Amino acid sequence: MSGEIIRTRGLTKHYVLGAETVRAVRGVDVLIEPGEYVAIMGPSGSGKSTFMNMIGCLDTPTEGDYWLNGQLVSELSDDQLARVRNREIGFVFQTFNLLPRATALHNVELPLIYAGVGSRERKRRAAEKLELVGLADRMEHKPPEMSGGQRQRVAVARALVNEPALLLADEPTGNLDSVTSDEVMKQFDELNEAGQTIVVVTHEHDIAEHAKRQIHLKDGVIERDFLNQPVETPA
Amino acid sequence: MLFLEIVMVAMAAVRANVLRSVLTTLGIVIGIAAVITMVALGEGAQQQVEEQINRMGTSILTVRPGQQMWGGVSRGDAELSVEDAIALRDDSGGLLTVSPEQQSRLQVTYKRWNSNTQVMGVWPEYFEMYDHALQVGRWFNQGEIQGRRRVVVLGHNVPVDLGETPPELLIGETIQIRGILFEVIGVLEEKGDAAWMRPDDQVFIPQSTAQYRVMGGRDRLNSIYAATETPQQLDMAFAEIDRIMRRSHRLRAGEEADFNIRNSADLLATFNETNQTFALLLAGIAGVSLLVGGIGIMNIMLVSVTERTREIGVRKALGATRRAIMTQFLVEALFLCILGGLIGVAAGYGAAELMTRFAEWQTSVAPEAVATAIGFSAGVGLFFGLWPARRAAALDPIDALRYE
C-alpha cells in the first residue's frame, strides 16, 4: 500500500473580489491514507468549500502542492484535471446533480462514457453499482420519478462506477429527511468497511460522527484534527 | 466511440425539445428551400432554352423592323416589306432560305364554332425552315402564293377548337377567316411551344393572300425569317442579310440600321430574363434567411447553454473535457441545421413542383444542388454554433454546479 490518497502541503487559495483579496484557505497540510473515512467540518466562511473544490480537482490552489493518489495534481491543466476527476474521484453532491431526462442507468454510465468505456461494458458496470446501492429494480426510472433517498443512491452508484481512489461527498444528506439520511450514511459506512476511502464535507455533527476522523477548519486553517471514538453500533 | 456517444447526447437534447427545435430551424428551412427553388428554376430555364433553341431551329435568323432615326430623332418604326424578303431570297446566292411573316389575331369560324386564332401569312419555305410535318393534306405552293389563293393549313390544336372535328374530315372543308372563305388543305403534326411561338394554335395562309385579302392590303411584315443550311453559316448569313437589307432600304454607309437581326439564342435570352430576375430575388431571400436562420440557431444555442449550465457542470465534474463539451454543443447546432436543411430541401422540391404545375415554369432539382444545400446548412450550423459551444466549454465547473 502506497500509504496516501491525499497529501497537501501549504495549500492556499486567494480570490480577488474587486479591490479586496479574500484569503479562503491559508496553508493547509493534510495527509489522508487509504481506507480512511474523514469528515471535514466548519462553519460557513471557514474555507471548507474552497478546500473541498481543490481536493476534488475542481479548482487549483494559488499556492502549495497537492498530491492525489501519488500524482501531483496542483499543476495540471483544465483537461488534465478533467481526466483526474474522471478516474480518481467519485462525487456525491448535496443536490444530487443527476441529469433529469436520463434514466438511472444512463446517469450512472456517464463517467464511463468520458472514460471511453464501450457500451456493453458500461451497462454491465453501471448495473452492478446500482445493484450494490439496492436500486436493481429502478434502473430504467428517471430521477423525477424517484424519491430523494433513491436519487442520492443513484448519485452514489455514479460516484463509484469508475472505482475511484476517493469518494468525495459534499453535504450528502443536506436535502434528505432523517430516515433517508441514515440510509445513505449506512451505505457510506458499508463502503468504508469494504475499503473505500471517503471524505465527507458537512456541518452536521451527527453526520460527522459516522466518520472515523474529523478535520475542523476555521478561517482557512485547520483548527482541530482528531479521531472519533468508535461508535457503539446496536445489534 | 466517445464521439458517437456525444452525438447521441446532442441528438437527445434536440429530441427533448422538438417544438423549439423545429421553430429554431425555420430560418434555415426557408433559406434552403429558397436555394433549392432558385437552382431548380435556373436549371429548368437552362434546359428550356436549350430545348427551345433546338425546336426553333438553330440556324434561323430573324429580321425585325427597328427604329428609324433621323438626326437623332425617332421617326417611328421602320417597315419591312415583301420586297425586302424577295431581295434576301434572290440576292444571297442561295445562302438563305427566306420567308416573310405577316400575322394577326383573327376570328376563325367553322360551322357554328369559332375561335380567336393567330393567322400567319407565310411562304411555303416557312414549313421547311421550322421543320413542320403534316398530319394530313398538303402545303400550299408557289402557284397559290402568286394567285393569292384562299387556302389554309391548320396548326395541330386548331381542329379541336373547331368542334373537335377529326383532321381528315376537315380537308376540303371551308372555314372563314374574318368572314372570308378559305379551303382547308392541310393539318400539321404536333410541334410544341417554343418561347412565344405556339405553332400548334396557329393557322397558316399564303402571305400574299394575307396581305391583299385579309389584312387590308398593307405591305408591312412583322418579321422576315432567313435560314442557312448549317449553323456554321450563320455569321456569314448575318453579314449578308445586313448588306442586302441596307441596300434594299437605301441606307448610306455609316447610317444606323432601321432593322434588327437576331438569332434564336438572343431572342430566348431576352425571353428568359424574367426567370433570371426571379432567381436573383430568390437568391436574395435565401441569403437573408440563412443569415437570420443562423443567428436564430446561435440564439437558441446560447439559451440552451444557459439552461443547461448545471448539466455542463455535472458533466465536467464527472470528467468531460472542454473538447467533449464543445463537441456536444457543436453537434447539436449542426444537427439542428442539417435537420432544417433536409426539411428545406423537401420544401424547395415541393415549391418547384408547384411552380411547374401552376405557373408552368420548367424546373429541375439537381442532386448536386441538394448536396450543396445540405453542406451549406451544415456550414451555417458550424459557424453559428461555434461561439455558444465555446462558451459552454469554457464554463467553470464550480460556478456551473452552483448555478440555479
Q: Is-contact A40 A97, C-beta < 8 A?
A: no
* Beta pairing partners, B194: B197
Amino acid of residue A102:
A
CB pairs A-B closer than 8 Å: 59
Mention every residue, 6+ apart, whose C-beta is less than 8 A from residue A104.
A98, A130, A135, A138, A139, A140, A141, A142, A143, A146, A154, A157
Measured between CB atoms, does A115 come within 8 Å of chain B?
yes
Measured between CB atoms, does B310 come within 8 Å of chain A?
yes
Tell me the three cell numbers of residue B379.
Answer: 456550414
Q: Is residue A81 situated within a structural domain?
A: yes
- Residue with the three cell numbers 447526447: B9
Measured between CB atoms, does A79 come within 8 Å of chain B?
yes
Mention every residue, 6+ apart, whose C-beta is less than 8 A from residue B367.
none
* Chain A residues touching B397 at Cβ < 8 A: 58
pLDDT digits (tens, 9 = 90+) for A141-150: 999 999 989 9
CA distance A233 to chain B (A): 34
Q: Is residue A13 situated within a structural domain?
A: no
* Beta pairing partners, A215: A40, A225
pLDDT digits (tens, 9 = 90+) for B135-149: 999 999 889 989 999
- What is the CATH classification number for the domain harbouring A199? 3.40.50.300
Q: Is residue A96 situated within a structural domain?
A: yes
SS3 A180: helix
Query: Are residues A97 and B401, on separate chains, in Cβ contact within 8 Å?
Result: yes
Mention every residue, 6+ apart, whose C-beta is less than 8 A from residue A158.
A90, A98, A107, A108, A110, A111, A129, B318
Please state at what angle helix B367-394 crosses helix B18-56, rounded to 10 degrees: 150
A1: pLDDT strictly greater than 50: no
Interface predicted TM-score of the whole assembly (ipTM), two decimals: 0.91
* Chain B residues touching A59 at Cβ < 8 A: 398
A 10 A CB-CB count for A75 gives 10
pLDDT digits (tens, 9 = 90+) for B150-209: 999 999 988 888 887 788 888 999 999 999 999 999 999 887 766 567 888 899 999 999
Total domains present in chain A: 1
Helices (H), B232-364: 234-248, 264-271, 273-307, 309-317, 322-354
C-alpha span between A99 and B310 (Å, rounded): 9
Measured between CB atoms, does B11 come within 8 Å of chain A?
no
Q: Is residue A29 situated within a structural domain?
A: no
CA distance B379 to chain A (A): 27
pLDDT band of B75, cuts 50, 70, 90: low
Residue B38 has what DSSP assignment?
H
* Chain A residues touching B310 at Cβ < 8 A: 97
Measured between CB atoms, does A87 come within 8 Å of chain B?
yes
Q: Is-contact A47 A24, C-beta < 8 A?
A: yes
* Chain B residues touching A98 at Cβ < 8 A: 314
CA distance B317 to chain A (A): 7
C-alpha span between B183 and B153 (Å, rounded): 9
Measured between CB atoms, does A53 come within 8 Å of chain B?
yes
* Chain A residues touching B315 at Cβ < 8 A: 110, 114
Q: Is residue A136 situated within a structural domain?
A: yes
Q: Is residue A65 situated within a structural domain?
A: no
Indicate the pTM of the whole model.
Answer: 0.68
Tell me the three cell numbers of residue B231.
Answer: 449553323
Q: What is the pLDDT of residue B35?
A: 84
Identify the domain containing residue A157 by its residue range: 37-58+77-227
pLDDT digits (tens, 9 = 90+) for B262-292: 877 666 666 666 667 777 787 788 888 888 8
A233: pLDDT strictly greater than 60: no
Q: Is residue A12 situated within a structural domain?
A: no
> Which helix (H) or strand (E) segment is B64 a member of?
strand B60-65
Angle, vertex CA A117, rays to CA A114 and CA A122, nearest 5:
105
pLDDT digits (tens, 9 = 90+) for B341-368: 999 999 998 988 888 888 777 778 878 8
A34: pLDDT strictly greater than 80: yes
Tell me the three cell numbers of residue B219.
Answer: 405591305
Residue B212 has what DSSP assignment?
I
Q: Is residue A162 situated within a structural domain?
A: yes
